[in-house]
Structure 1
Amino acid sequence: MPTRRTLRLTQVAALAAAAALALTGCSTASSSAPAASSASAISAERCAANKAAGPITYVTGFQYQASASILDVLAAKKLGYFDALCLNVTIQPGTGDTAGNSQLVAAGTATLTDVGGDSDLLLAHSNGVDVTGIATYGQVPITTLMTATSITDLKQLEGTTLGQKGQLPPEIQAMLVKKGVDVSKITQVTVGYDPSILPRGQVQSLTGYKSSEPLTLKAAGDTITQWNPEDYGIPGTFGTVVANPAFVKANATATQDFLRASFHAYDYCLTNASECVGFAADLAGGGASYDVDHNVQVWQTETALVTKSEPAGTPLGSLNTTLMAKEAQFLLDSKQLTALPDVSTFTDPSFVSAIYTGTDLIWPAP
């Protein structure tokens, strides 16, 4: 897995004491974690501004799963990167209801969250949920539809039962519509995260994530067919981070530095996956209920998708407005949207662009 370079500021020595310098490390590819410290790695002025932003609550997309946009945030907290930037961050595990998470952020109950992909942000906006998109990790659909190998045409799913996690992922619905499936003829039921219901025949199709359920089924020796939206020309994204609009408007540096610390931890976890997954396991309470090996696979699968889908010359987290426009169009074509929105009114790419020089993350903050 390739790692990103971290651009260290030449004025660090003037901004921080030697204890703070220990936090920054020489490179995110270091084999050992930088020691945590209460010392600030940024200027007194920026530190004061970040402290004035107050408590920042991040709700994860799903529990403490080792996904991109979850594990790196957990690691940034554990490694002291948020502290180094004078940010007071609390992480709350989400239930998987990303639509509900966006409502928490819109209401100000939470500050930031991962809503899934850009299509989920588009749908939230169309439903009147006021959040601002500030970053996107992966620029390919993370969702997949799993069936038994006996299904060779998606139209065979008409008259059968499909299991989903509370709502049919928009990319999956668009794929079905494009293949001529009458979705109204499919019985949809809400299911949990145990994919064994598919090989047991309790459902005939099952939505999931490329980095999760297929890995579990493969480990159990079950053979399935995956139907991936991108194979049918359906665009998609994952790891879309949204924030409370009032917060980001009032706290630009804190918003930048939340992403800065998270992406710095992302780089570290690329080459220290087991250690970072250990942080998540500790938060989850440890024990057999947290599958460390599986979660290492989750992280490695998702970061590989991020790397593969990232346009050349763009840094991690960049909002791709061209891709978002394509997602909006497929949502319109599949009748999930009634009109094309002006995405500039609820996205802000400035926070990501402010923390990079080219594709080099600036660490610490200027």
Structure 2
Amino acid sequence: TGSGGVEAVVAGQPFPEARCAANEATGTITYLSGFDFAATASIIDVVLAEQSGYFDELCLDVELQSSFSTANYPIVASGDAQLASGGSFSELVRYAGANEAELVAVAVEGRTAIDSLILKPGSAETLTDLQGATIGVKGALPPSVAAMLATEGLVEGADFDTVLLDGFDPLTHITLDGIVGFPGYKSNEPGQLERAGVEFDLFDPSEFDIPGSFGVLFTSRAFLDEHPSAVEDFVRATMRGLADALADPEGAAASALELVEAGGNPSFLSPEGEAFRWATDVELLTAETPEGVGTGIPDVAALQTEVDAYAAVGLFGDGAVPAAADFVAAVPIESVFDGPDVIWPGS
């Protein structure tokens, strides 16, 4: 038997009837995206799974809702949505710890920090040149960037300042007086600046050996305990969607943009931008996932290294360093793969 006492899924064999009944009894599963339906890990794979009918094949009724990663944690914790995309593993741990919420990552697709620090050309040869500078931020300084600056002893508020930026347009932000630069996703802002012919310098936390993650799928411990086969099969369908997206990056990015445009495209995403975003993710997922391992299977030791690095820059407050294992449920995704291949039923 598999999860929740129902029969396990066997590759090429009919989907078990009792498992189908259990999944149908779960009712509608609401999934919240992390940034509109952008072509990125933990969103594009869910979009493709829905469009390809993979959820339907596993007797799941899934509703996709556009959202923003930091808004998702309280909604899933309260049970108003069941699964969602998170920005990074540490973002999930930070929210869950601060709010005593029982949230668990069921997939961590990106095994590196996705953030970077984008600077006006010539404003800093090395990180130490940022002493006394002001950096623009969208919300808050990303932990990986804070940890990178901390390698040179630079602490926010003491050695450099941050100021809140309006909107998400790097072409506007790079022209602003009073800031040297701003953080951005490696998969987004650098591409926008390059396509516009705007010069910039970039500091990448991963080049300073700062660990990180992106493309997180998470649920509540309560929902996982109550509906284990539904969570496992949501992950199964999503991982098949991910395999499709990795195999045909351009087609996948176009599929994501269709959904964005159907929702009115409030964030002004473009075909070029989404193609660049997913191409960047594909490169990182392909390079960082070990040979023979299913993409998305959480590496708890690596996640603990990430948590340790971000605890050192004060991300989790002054208490004990969180244990990564407390915020991971690896059983669903480990049951979905045979080596690097998704176990999928047949007719």
State whether TM-score is above 0.5.
yes
Q: Does 1:271 align with 2:247?
A: yes
In the alignment, residue 74 of structure 1 is paired with which amino acid?
V
Q: How does 1:70-89 map to 2 (within 5 A)?
A: 70-89=43-62
Determine which of 133, 142, 161 is the counterpart of 1:186. Answer: 161
Name the residue aligned to 1:356.
Answer: 337
Please report how far the alpha carbon of residue 178 of structure 1 lies from its aligned counterpart in structure 2 after TM superposition. Answer: 1.5
In the alignment, residue 326 of structure 2 is paired with which amino acid?
T
Name the residue aligned to 2:128.
Answer: 155
Determine which of 190, 211, 226 is the counterpart of 2:187. Answer: 211
Report the Cα distance in structure 1 between the residues aligned to 2:211 and 2:148, rounded to whole angstroms: 10
Q: Does 1:346 align with 2:327?
A: yes
Q: How does 1:246-257 map to 2 (within 5 A)?
A: 246-257=222-233
Name the residue aligned to 1:139.
Answer: 111
User: Given the superposition, is the C-alpha separation of residues 328 and 281 from structure 1 closer, same or farther in structure 2, using an over 3 Å criterion?
Assistant: closer
Name the residue aligned to 2:92.
Answer: 121
Name the residue aligned to 1:307.
Answer: 286
Report the Cα distance in structure 2 between the residues aligned to 1:313 and 1:341, rounded to whole angstroms: 29
Aligned length: 329
Contact 1:62 1:94 in 2 (8 A): yes
Q: Does 1:330 align with 2:309?
A: yes
Please report how far the alpha carbon of residue 263 of structure 1 lies from its aligned counterpart in structure 2 after TM superposition. Answer: 1.1
Please report how far the alpha carbon of residue 273 of structure 1 lies from its aligned counterpart in structure 2 after TM superposition. Answer: 2.9
Please report how far the alpha carbon of residue 9 of structure 1 lies from its aligned counterpart in structure 2 after TM superposition. Answer: 4.6
Contact 1:148 1:198 in 2 (8 A): no
Name the residue aligned to 1:241.
Answer: 217
Determine which of 141, 153, 157 is the counterpart of 1:168. Answer: 141
Other structure's SS at 1:311 match: coil
Structure 2-normalised TM-score?
0.89
Please report how far the alpha carbon of residue 270 of structure 1 lies from its aligned counterpart in structure 2 after TM superposition. Answer: 2.2
Other structure's SS at 2:174 match: coil
Q: Does 1:101 align with 2:72?
A: yes
User: Given the superposition, is the C-alpha separation of residues 353 and 155 from structure 1 closer, same or farther in structure 2, using an over 3 Å criterion?
Assistant: same
Per-residue CA distance 1:34-60 (angstroms, 9 max, x = gap): xxxxxxxx2221111111111111111
Q: Does 1:317 align with 2:296?
A: yes
Please report how far the alpha carbon of residue 147 of structure 1 lies from its aligned counterpart in structure 2 after TM superposition. Answer: 0.5
Report the Cα distance in structure 1 between the residues aligned to 2:199 and 2:47, rounded to whole angstroms: 33
Name the residue aligned to 1:196.
Answer: 171
Contact 2:307 2:321 in 1 (8 A): yes
Contact 1:198 1:204 in 2 (8 A): no
Report the Cα distance in structure 1 between the residues aligned to 2:213 and 2:269, rounded to whole angstroms: 27
User: Given the superposition, is the C-alpha separation of residues 264 and 208 from structure 1 closer, same or farther in structure 2, using an over 3 Å criterion?
Assistant: same
User: Given the superposition, is the C-alpha separation of residues 123 and 365 from structure 1 closer, same or farther in structure 2, using an over 3 Å criterion?
Assistant: farther
Per-residue CA distance 1:307-352 (angstroms, 9 max, x = gap): 1111233211111111111112112221223322233322111011
In the alignment, residue 72 of structure 2 is paired with which amino acid?
N
User: Given the superposition, is the C-alpha separation of residues 45 and 276 from structure 1 closer, same or farther in structure 2, using an over 3 Å criterion?
Assistant: same
Contact 1:134 1:242 in 2 (8 A): yes
User: Given the superposition, is the C-alpha separation of residues 10 and 85 from structure 1 closer, same or farther in structure 2, using an over 3 Å criterion?
Assistant: closer
User: Given the superposition, is the C-alpha separation of residues 172 and 106 from structure 1 closer, same or farther in structure 2, using an over 3 Å criterion?
Assistant: same
Per-residue CA distance 1:103-132 (angstroms, 9 max, x = gap): 111111111112111111221232123311
Report the Cα distance in structure 1 between the residues aligned to 2:24 and 2:250, rounded to whole angstroms: 32
- Identity over the aligned pairs, expressed in percent? 31
Report the Cα distance in structure 1 between the residues aligned to 2:323 and 2:252, rounded to whole angstroms: 38
Other structure's SS at 2:343 match: strand
Contact 1:329 1:340 in 2 (8 A): yes
Report the Cα distance in structure 1 between the residues aligned to 2:147 and 2:58, rounded to whole angstroms: 42
User: Given the superposition, is the C-alpha separation of residues 86 and 186 from structure 1 closer, same or farther in structure 2, using an over 3 Å criterion?
Assistant: same
Contact 2:212 2:306 in 1 (8 A): yes
Which deviates further from its counterpart, 147-156 or 132-141?
147-156
Q: Does 1:46 align with 2:23?
A: no
In the alignment, residue 182 of structure 2 is paired with which amino acid?
L
Report the Cα distance in structure 1 between the residues aligned to 2:38 and 2:12, rounded to whole angstroms: 37
Other structure's SS at 1:241 match: strand
In the alignment, residue 226 of structure 1 is paired with which amino acid?
L
Report the Cα distance in structure 2 between the residues aligned to 1:51 and 1:291, rounded to whole angstroms: 37
Please report how far the alpha carbon of residue 262 of structure 1 lies from its aligned counterpart in structure 2 after TM superposition. Answer: 0.9
Name the residue aligned to 1:284.
Answer: 260
Report the Cα distance in structure 2 between the residues aligned to 1:168 and 1:365, rounded to whole angstroms: 47
Unpaired runs of 5+ residues, structure 1, are: 1-7, 16-41
